[in-house]
Amino acid sequence: MARQVRRAFKYRFYPTAEQAAELSRTFGCVRLVYNKALEERTRAWYGEQRRISYLQSSAALTQWKKTEELAFLTEVSCVPLQQALRHLQAAFANFFAKRAAYPRFKSRKRSRCSAEYTRSAFTWRDGRLTLAKMAAPLDIRWSRHLPEGAEPSTVTVSRDSAGRWFVSLLCQDTIPAAPATDAAVGVDAGITSLVALSTGEKITNPRHERRDRARLAKAQRELARKAPGSVNRDKARRRVARVHARIVDRRRDFLHKVSTRLVRENQTVVVEDLIAGNLLKNRKLARAISDAAWRELRTMLEYKCAWYGRDLVVVDRWFPSTNLCGTCGTVRAELPLNVREWTCGCGSVHDRDVNAARNVLAAGLAVTACGDGVRPQRGTSRTGHSSAKQETQRATAGIARP
Ligand SMILES: [Zn+2]
């Protein structure tokens, strides 16, 4: 059965000088409004244990626009500013629900610049997109087709650290049904590979990654040698950003292929709930596997399972997947990171990563059979296509498969 989903389509575009100036101004205003509202909320929360609502923030924004020093806020489209307040609201909702840390200020240097436009702030005519306060449509490079007759409901414009401009269009799309199957797979972040599967397969990083990383290290060394504030330093910083952006792009393409394949081939996908901070504490491990890649893969598996009607099962991360013998069930005390292969007392020889993936699968299937122990999913509301709720229900109501 085909499914209707909301899906974001992202493209590069090339703004005119005028459009670039308008967007840069908008990014600045978005950041200012977000930070100012965060400051007010922080004062209310830590000072008086009082929560400020979105409506109160919105009313405050109206007042700021009337003051002399913030009157420039009226020069940009008001929609991205309102959306920034909505994002802040979502960040606080996650914080209060203990799903996320306290919201942080957007820094000029570290944050990606972006502005979100809802339906009233852009026009979409004959496949041409024109944003509020702009005369001409954006020069978009349509690297792939939008779904037939698609009407974007939200448009997000962003600029990355390498200075590239992107526009993301949220559209209704039809996802074709995936082939029926009973297969189930356990997936674990590997040490010798990017991911290990319970089938015994190990998926390694894309082949460019090692070379790209060497280039990144070289660019970073060059940057460190340049005098602060110099033109050359600026150039070197751009170069670092470009290499980094290429690594991220290539890896994302690769992860899309991996996640699509896993979801199409399996009815049940079991993953371990690894929290980022935990992995990163171990520097060796952080070097061997890219934590960001694992998190990204998890997110992709989450929404693609929802798209294709598959079951994503998340097992508790305290479950001893690595040092448990999948054959006899003995738990070893400790398994140092440099041990790739080990022999259990029962005589079984295990590949460390594959054994872990098999244990994850077994735990996931046991969990769906008992109907408990599945941890609630973390939402991905920032991207606007959160499917967290649906997934939790699917996972909790999951059916045991032999
Ligand atoms: Zn054993």
Express each pLDDT in 43-61 by its tens digit.
999 999 899 999 999 999 9
pTM, full prediction: 0.76
pLDDT at 285: 43
pLDDT of residue 391: 36
Among the listed ranges 132-141, 168-177, 328-337, 369-378, which one has the minimum average pLDDT value?
369-378
Contact 388, 380 (CB under 8 A): yes
Higher local confidence (pLDDT), 205 or 358: 358
Centroid of ligand 1 to alpha carbon of 197 (angstroms): 19
320 C-alpha to ligand 1 centroid (Å): 14
108: pLDDT strictly greater than 90: no
Cβ atoms within 10 A of the Cβ of 375, count? 14
Stretch among 24-33, 70-79, 248-257 having the lowest mean pLDDT:
248-257
- What distance in angstroms lies between residue 138's CA and the mean position of ligand 1's atoms? 61
Distance between CA atoms of residues 399 and 402, nearest Å: 10
Answer yes or no: is pLDDT of 247 > 60: yes
Is residue 384 predicted with pLDDT exceeding 50?
A: no
| Known catalytic residue at 291 | no
Helix axes 291-308, 388-396, angle to 10 degrees: 80
Predicted local distance difference test score (pLDDT) of residue 65: 95
Q: Are 75 and 25 in contact (CB under 8 A)?
A: yes
For this structure, is 188 an active site residue?
yes
Q: How confident is the model at residue 371 (pLDDT cuts 50, 70, 90)?
A: low
107 contact partners, CB below 8 Å, separation of at least 6: none
- How far apart are alpha carbons 5 and 10 in whole angstroms? 16
Under the banding of pLDDT at 50, 70 and 90, the label for residue 244 is confident
Kindly give the distance from the C-alpha atom of residue 360 to the centroid of ligand 1, in angstroms, as a whole number.
Answer: 16
Is 160 annotated in the active site? no
Q: What is the pLDDT of residue 82?
A: 96
pLDDT of 288:
40
> What pLDDT shows up at residue 270?
94
> Hey, what amino acid is at 165?
W
Residue 365 is encoded by which pair of tokens? 């299937």
pLDDT for residue 382: 34
The active-site residue out of 116, 212, 351, 353 is 353
Q: Which of 165-169, 262-266, 316-320 has the lowest mean pLDDT?
A: 316-320
- The share of the chain scoring above pLDDT 70, in percent, equals 86
Overall average pLDDT of the 307-314 stretch: 92
Confidence of residue 379 (pLDDT cuts 50, 70, 90): very low
Of these residues, 188, 212, 302, 351, which one is catalytic? 188
Q: How far is the CA of 327 from the centre of ligand 1 (A)?
A: 5
Distance 316 CA to ligand 1 centre (A): 22
Q: Tell me, in angstroms, the distance from the centre of ligand 1 to residue 363's CA.
A: 16
Which of 13-17, 126-130, 242-246, 385-389 reaches the highest mean pLDDT?
13-17
HSE at residue 355, side-chain half, CA atoms within 13 A, is: 25
- In this structure, the dihedral spanned by the alpha carbons of residues 94, 98, 102 and 106, taken in order and rounded to 10 degrees, is -30
Tokens of 59: 């009313």
Give the Å distance between the CA of 217 and the centre of ligand 1: 42
31 by DSSP, 3-state: which? Answer: helix
Q: What integer pLDDT is reported at residue 366 of this predicted model? A: 85
pLDDT tens sequence across 260-302: 999 999 999 999 876 544 444 555 444 444 667 777 888 899 9
- Sign of the Cα pseudo-torsion (352, 357, 363, 366, in order): negative
Which of 10-14, 34-38, 114-118, 146-150 has the weakest average pLDDT? 146-150
Q: Please write the tens of the pLDDT for every residue from 388-399.
A: 333 333 333 333
Q: How far apart are CA 269 and CA 261, in angstroms?
A: 11
Q: Which of 212, 272, 351, 391 is an active site residue?
A: 272
The rounded Å distance from CA 350 to ligand 1 centre is 9
Q: What is the mean pLDDT of the chain?
A: 84
What are the tens digits of pLDDT across the range 190-221? 776 788 899 999 988 777 777 888 888 898 89
Pick the most confident of 30-39, 103-112, 267-276.
Answer: 30-39
